[in-house]
Amino acid sequence: MRLITWNINSVRARLGIVEQLVKKYQPDVLCLQETKVQDHMFPEGFFADIGMPHLAIHGQKSHHGVATASKLPIADQFKIDWCKKGDARHVAIRIDGMPTIHNFYVPAGGDEPDAAINDKFAHKLDFMEEMTEWSSTLKEDSILVGDLNIAPHPDDVWDHKKLLKVVSHTPIETEGMLRMIDAHDWVDVMREFTPLPEKLYSWWSYRARDWDAADKGRRLDHVWTSPSLKGKAVHMEVIREARGWEKPSDHAPVLVDFNF
């Protein structure tokens, strides 16, 4: 099974590069985040036309939103309302013979890393706590993917010291994510293939005049598996070229091949 996860930053605005990705890399399952579209306006026909007709979508107007498209029939799907806010930040699918696939879009957290004065950051921390508790009780074999909006290790960012006070790499976030990983003994698949201390990024800011040359990236996108699935991933790559495609997302897709 080939799985790709990608924060697309508005699916309807970027159908061209979604089609380009699917044609070139032929995923069996495509998990998208930040789709920015209500369910009834989701471009279902487009996905059928590119060979991924089976959909699990969870969207809302203007922001957030996740969607999972599959070549294979989806036997079951469900959503969790994290923090009871009604935000479209999670959808899960079950395909016969496969582990459950959870597609997440964790809150970005705003600009100020202080929960006392920034409600968005407080929401992010609460979201992480709920995910950690959920992870600790999770029994079924699972794959967790998505834009988790945290770069947990010093080598997941271009400059550890400069980003210690920047949302996505502050100690309270990185330590919280490592606790979340420990709660289920999640396997960090990307780091299985690109071990620390090698640098590994999946996001580059739009603000950089030449993002590729500057290479000031962060690893905000993740693929984790239950410990029982360790070794089932046989290939991983960050599709960096997609960050340079026409009208790109600021995230690059992450591809993982599994052998079940």
CATH number (domain holding residue 19): 3.60.10.10
Tell me how many degrees the CA angle 232-156-236 measures, rounded to the nearest 5.
Answer: 25
Contact 67, 35 (CB under 8 A): yes
Q: Give the pLDDT confidence score for residue 63 in this predicted structure.
A: 84
From 87, 105, 156, 221, active-site residue: 105
76 is catalytic: no
- Structural domain containing residue 244: 2-258
From 147, 155, 156, 221, active-site residue: 147
Contact 126, 83 (CB under 8 A): yes
> 201-215 burial string, b = 16+ CB within 10 Å, else e?
bbbbeeeeeebeeee
Q: Give the pLDDT confidence score for residue 62 in this predicted structure.
A: 80
CA–CA separation, 256 vs 230, rounded Å? 13
- Dihedral (Cα; 176, 253, 104, 221), 10-degree rounding: 0
CA–CA separation, 209 vs 108, rounded Å? 23
Q: Give the pLDDT confidence score for residue 244 in this predicted structure.
A: 97
105 is catalytic: yes
- What is the chain's pLDDT, residue by residue, as a tens digit (260 residues)? 999 999 999 999 999 999 999 999 999 999 999 999 999 999 999 999 999 999 999 999 888 999 999 999 999 999 999 999 999 999 999 999 999 999 999 999 999 999 999 999 999 999 999 999 999 999 999 999 999 999 999 999 999 999 999 999 999 999 999 999 999 999 999 999 999 999 999 999 999 989 999 999 999 999 999 999 999 999 999 999 999 999 999 999 999 999 99
Q: Residue 257 — φ and ψ, nearest 5°?
A: -100, 130
User: Domain tally for the chain?
Assistant: 1
